[in-house]
Structure 1
Amino acid sequence: MSSLSVYHVSSAEMPNKVLTHLEDIASTLAEHGVTFDRWQAETPIAPGATEEALIGAYRTQIDRLMTERGYLTVDVVSAGRDPSQRAERHAGPLEERQYAEDEVRFFFAAGRGLFSLHIGDFVYAVLCERNDLIGLPAGTRHWFDGGENPYFVALRLCKGGQGAEATLTGDDIASQFPRLED
């Protein structure tokens, strides 16, 4: 089940509130320009589907979002459960980062992950699961945790240019907050 845990930066051990209803999560995040929604595939997705099949299953919704927000590219990002790659995937994404352009990730065609957003004096930890979409405005400080055994298949939309590259903030805040438990 998708959820949103809101923490004050000074109290990483206990969230101020935890929300589990789509409408509550979406409205709380919308106050900060963050989009949270749920999409359903237009066609069934077979296990091991190609990138083209995954994108095709959501084509109408992707095209609408690309037109509305000026996105130029869509791709598939995934992580399996290969133990030899676990440490590398687990360490890197937990550094706080930001992008110069809006970032939309459709989480998830499969799997789950924890997106933590550092906005002002608060951290919004969003547990995204199958069919969740999260869109971050440019400059949103955040990190992503796939857990010790990451598994997800996600679609990512972006505008393309230099803004698609992450800039690390140098803040170690990600290490202070709860991780995704498998």
Structure 2
Amino acid sequence: MTLLTSWPESGPETTVRRTTDPTEIRAALAPLGVRYERWPVRDDVPPGADPATVLAAYRTEVEKLNAEESFSTVDVVSLHPSDDPEWAAKAAGARQKFLSEHTHDDDDEVRFFVAGAGVFYLRVGGEVHAVYCERGDLLGVPRGTAHWFDMGTRPSFTAIRFFHEEDGWIGNFTGDQIATRFPDFDTLAADRAALG
């Protein structure tokens, strides 16, 4: 179940909005230029499936979105717990890269969650909007939007990434420490679980 929580950008002491209703989430994000959709979930795609299997399973949806947006690159990123002794360090490094607020000049950040979960935090119009995305969620953050992403202390997700630019992910970090003031992925995951 997707969870949208919004606070004033000054801090999370007051909650402006909290909803798990997909229609309300879409309505709240649309004026911000954020694309939110729910795609059908393919139960035959395991969390650790290889990229070719993932893209084949979602070919219809990917081709439809690509026809609308003309992406130059579509790929799959996956990070799941492993017995590899270096996994924890790799996961922590990957998480740290995206925890600082940044923007993208030349591309939207479009992700579809095939498995697992992650939280996109968007700072727009004096508010911070945390979108807890899970399997079946597509989120498109418009270029120029200040945001950050948290995958949690024990990341577990597979996502399809869409890029207009061949260079892929290029972040412009704002230097603002705003991300440190708001609840992290693990806190929001617990909140979401408590909601049922």
Structure-1-length-normalised TM-score: 0.92
Give the share of equivalent positions with the same residue, in percent. Answer: 39
Residue aligned with 2:140, SS: strand
Contact preservation (8 Å) 1:41, 1:57: no
Q: Quick check: 1:154 aligned with 2:154? A: no
The alpha-carbon deviation at position 19 of structure 1 amounts to 1.0
Q: Quick check: 1:84 aligned with 2:89? A: yes
**1:79–1:163: structure 2 CA closer, same or farther, 3 Å change rule?**
closer
**1:179–1:42: structure 2 CA closer, same or farther, 3 Å change rule?**
closer
Contact preservation (8 Å) 2:79, 2:155: yes
State the one-letter code of the partner of 1:148: T
Aligned residue pair count: 181
Name whichever of 20-29 and 48-57 sits farther off.
Answer: 48-57
**1:86–1:14: structure 2 CA closer, same or farther, 3 Å change rule?**
farther
State the one-letter code of the partner of 2:126: D
Following the alignment from structure 1 to structure 2, what is the Cα–Cα distance between the partners of residues 3 and 43? 22
Q: Quick check: 1:28 aligned with 2:34? A: no
Structure 1 outlier segments of 4+, above 6 Å: none
Correspondence for 1:104 among 99, 110, 120:
110
Residue aligned with 1:12, SS: coil
Q: Quick check: 1:165 aligned with 2:163? A: no
The alpha-carbon deviation at position 33 of structure 1 amounts to 0.6
Q: Which residue of 1 aligns with 2:55?
A: 55
Structure-2-length-normalised TM-score: 0.86
Contact preservation (8 Å) 2:70, 2:164: yes
Following the alignment from structure 2 to structure 1, what is the Cα–Cα distance between the partners of residues 114 and 93? 23
Contact preservation (8 Å) 1:43, 1:57: no
The one-character-per-residue Cα deviations of 1:123-151 (angstroms, maximum 9, x if unpaired) are 00000011100001111111000111111
Residue aligned with 2:111, SS: strand
Following the alignment from structure 2 to structure 1, what is the Cα–Cα distance between the partners of residues 14 and 52? 42
Q: Which residue of 1 aligns with 2:75?
A: 75
Residue aligned with 2:184, SS: coil
State the one-letter code of the partner of 2:12: A
Following the alignment from structure 1 to structure 2, what is the Cα–Cα distance between the partners of residues 177 and 62? 33
